[in-house]
Structure 1
């Protein structure tokens, strides 16, 4: 379902919905001018055929490639340009509890309908895809996408070993930071058949080289984002844990919870 941004012929009616933070939001349905503050949800909107309704994105909305040329860049995920957003006159703003910042969201919510996602596992991601699809008028496509993703992970579950291997997943260097329980990445690790060696910690803790050596993971996964880990970093971690298998992994397939999930399960099978 694709329409020109300036198409005023679409009749809109108020739609009252609840977002994933439990907030009640009234959205003009279907929305014609959408600002997305979340890269994975920007990609989702384009993949649902709604690219022409996306008028604003962040500088981190790199997928699809044309997102930042077709839409106005309104800053980063944690520093919005409110003047640019006002010029765009959005009738729907889409944000995320973790990726955006509370003060900025509250300022936007005082002026525009703001629908927030809150995602820490696959089930919540699938719920977001279906609920957002309904809100933007692409319910059938979103439901089909969610079903496809759910099926791919069911197939993955049947192929993972009964005894999970151990892993540490790094998102940052200097200081070292890992993904621990309570994060979407940790849920992906479990579904890929891996047990997080930092299961006693939470969210994104800083750890030391000594803690990593003591945890002795079988695998050390270095994410391609947000820190740009590269081949040159492998030896650094191999020195700390000589017995571990150290590998650069596609961080988007572990942490983007929109339409990119269509490719994650197969990637995990090939990777692990």
Structure 2
């Protein structure tokens, strides 16, 4: 009996061992399967990550391509704008080199087919305009009074420029000798201009007496020298500076102003001059604005009676010394101690060239006179 029990127990133990071994073998297989599955998952994840990296790389490449294309489009746009600018410039050049017909203030008609190469200026103002326009290298003759923007006397002495002589009533012989293809005259050389026109020369007269007329003369000279753009720019800048002064004095008190042109006899300025206009633009009023001539002869008594608040005198006359000696001498004229300008020491000198020449520096004159009339706005002159 005991042996049977022992056998049964042994058999059960063996069976248990077999079952346990089988279970272990099965479990080990499951573990192996799980490990294999996990390895497969890791491989899949690695593949997915690789794909994601590839996709991200492609996205980066596409973005880089887009940036490059945008830059390329920007470059193309700039090139298009450059081409358009070039086309506009070429069209402007073509238009400038077409035949032009000009009519000046006295009725002279000039037709030009190409830019002039030999220009003679019969007035200092014309010389200033030509050089400011950039046509100075075409000027072959000037007057003895032309002294801006260069010392032309030195040029003449060095043989780099010719002088045709006087500004007033010049002889035509030295002008003709220079074989000009354009002559710019003025009111001081009307007789010479008429004679030269009859001889077949291209003559234009600048004779503006008001600011708008002077600006129109600059435009005309610009067209005559095929410097249209330069002329337009100059006139635009001048208008801007004029407007700046006018706007600042718009609400200022208007002061009475006297300007003396000559002393023996005493001459001042009337209403039909650009100097009278400039005084008005600067916030003043010319005390002889009611004169019947452009350059009225006046008396010391009339000046005292009209009692100017401000007076200004040219620092020279016709490129020579002034006619009044000193400002102190002006103050000592008979009866002048009662004049407001003398009492307030509001007597000034002004550059004679900028106040007498109908050229681009008239704006300098306006700004200088504005300081004299309204130093509280523009500062001391």
TM-score (norm 2): 0.63
Separation in 1, partners of 2:324, 2:301:
22
Shift of 1:102: 3.0
Pairwise CA RMSD = 2.1
- Aligned mate of 2:283, from 179, 193, 203: 193
Separation in 1, partners of 2:179, 2:328:
50
**Residue of structure 2 in register with 1:167 after alignment:** 257
Separation in 1, partners of 2:303, 2:368:
25
- Taking the TM superposition and a 5 Å limit, the aligned residue runs for 1:208-227 are 208-226=299-317
- SS of the aligned residue for 1:180 comes to coil
- Aligned mate of 1:49, from 123, 131, 134: 134
CA contact (8 A) 1:152 1:265 kept: no
- Aligned mate of 2:162, from 72, 76, 79: 72
**Residue of structure 2 in register with 1:237 after alignment:** 330
Separation in 1, partners of 2:268, 2:363:
24
In structure 1, list runs of 5 or more residues that go unmatched: 1-11
- Aligned mate of 1:26, from 103, 111, 131: 111
- SS of the aligned residue for 1:186 comes to helix
Deviates more, 1:173-182 or 1:258-267: 258-267
Separation in 1, partners of 2:312, 2:367:
17
Higher strand content, 1 or 2: 1
**Residue of structure 1 in register with 2:174 after alignment:** 84
CA contact (8 A) 2:263 2:323 kept: no
- Aligned mate of 1:266, from 367, 376, 381: 367
CA contact (8 A) 1:121 1:188 kept: no
Separation in 2, partners of 1:194, 1:221:
12
- SS of the aligned residue for 2:277 comes to helix
Separation in 2, partners of 1:120, 1:146:
16
Shift of 1:252: 2.3
Separation in 2, partners of 1:155, 1:141:
21
Separation in 2, partners of 1:203, 1:230:
20
- Aligned residue pairs total 259
- SS of the aligned residue for 1:119 comes to coil
CA contact (8 A) 1:27 1:92 kept: no
TM-score (norm 1): 0.87
- Aligned mate of 1:62, from 142, 147, 152: 147
Separation in 2, partners of 1:42, 1:24:
21
Separation in 1, partners of 2:368, 2:299:
29
1:183-203 deviations in Å (ceiling 9; x for gaps): 111111111111011122121
**Residue of structure 2 in register with 1:246 after alignment:** 347
Is 1:110 equivalent to 2:211 in the alignment?
Answer: no
Higher helix content, 1 or 2: 2
